[in-house]
Amino acid sequence: MTPATEDTGQGLASTMPFRILVDEAMKLTRRHFRWIYFPVAIPVSLLFAALTVVQLAWMRGIQSALTTRSVLAMAGGCGGVLLAFFVLVVAQSLAYTALAFACTGAVERGRVGMKESWRFVLQLRVMGTLVLVWIALGVSFLFFFFPAIYVGLILSLVTQVMAAEKVFGFAAMRRSSQLVRYNPQRRFLANPKVKIFALFVIAMVISYVVRIVVELPFAVFQGYSAAREVAGRGQVDSAAWMSRMMWTQVPSSILSSLVTTAVGVYTSFGLALLYFDIRRRKEGMDLEAEIDRMSGGPPETPPPVAPR
């Protein structure tokens, strides 16, 4: 697939306009959504549901531990929640990497089976690269928020590099950084970092709005339940009411996860399109420069002939 570029007269230096990027990403999302989305969304949503159940069980255990003043029970519950959260983060990271691999393959070759995507993700060199990326992000967070944003942007194409170029580890991180920082025209709107940041902002806004719509019925139900209990008893037993209402978080977390994964498909297609667009321009410009070097430079333009 060859992305569209602006006709600026600059040849390979021109870039895909952002509006075309988001439009093409949406077209690809609609075309490939079904076979990419469900193999990732279903297991991830079930993991979110399991984590919610663990958290609810822990909160009930905390209430019991506070009553019996059992420090050991409280510590064990905290350890269980942290372990469940760690498993969820690792599994979600691998699942979204498989999703990004499939989207990259769809842009490059038309379609990639999800079985191939999962086999790709479960390679040790892929998982090792993801660990390096998370370490880099964690270290950057030690230097406050904005450095972490910058590191996240320059490493945002690591998965696409691994999928398309079969480059891993620090080499994949360097390659992503080179591509994201490639902006020979020094134009703000053509800067890949600006486009990636804008794409993430759009994805966050879409996800936030849809999640509000999805979670609104549960909030209304909780409010109705509290009002009904007040009308019947004159007051609300807050502990008992919260214990009953906590279980509404399970379907809410499942639906929120499904929404987040759907937006993730769209974002992955946007990143894949941007990756191939940058690579095409950068490799074309490098080839052009190498040809000029080997031939002694570009041909000189003859001086204009003065009219007689």
**Quick check: 7 pLDDT over 50?**
no
Q: Cα-flanking dihedrals φ and ψ of residue 193, to 5°?
A: -65, -40
* pLDDT reading at 278 higher than 60: yes
End-to-end CA distance of the chain: 52
- Cβ distance 88 to 76 under 8 Å? no
Which tokens belong to 132?
A: 């390096």
What ranges do the domains of the chain cover?
14-273
pLDDT > 90? residue 80: no
Encode pLDDT of 48-64 as tens digits: 888 888 777 776 666 55
Q: Tell me the pTM.
A: 0.80
What is the Cα–Cα distance from 208 to 198, expressed in whole angstroms? 15
The token pair that represents 176 in the structure block? 């992503």
Distances in Å between the Cα of 264 and the Cα atoms of 91, 124, 270, 280, 308 are 15, 24, 10, 24, 67
Model confidence at 86: pLDDT above 70: yes
pLDDT tens, residue by residue, 121-139: 999 999 999 999 999 999 9
Determine what percent of the chain is predicted with pLDDT higher than 90: 45
Of residues 253 and 37, more confidently modeled: 37
Q: Which two tokens stand for residue 54?
A: 């663990």
Averaged pLDDT for residues 283-297: 60
52 Cβ contact list (under 8 Å, min separation 6): 249, 250, 253
The pLDDT of residue 129 is 97
Please tell me the distance from the alpha carbon of residue 170 to that of residue 160, in angstroms, as a whole number.
Answer: 14
Q: Which of 93, 98, 105 is nearest to 32 (CA)?
A: 105
Phi and psi at 46, nearest 5°, equal: -65, -35
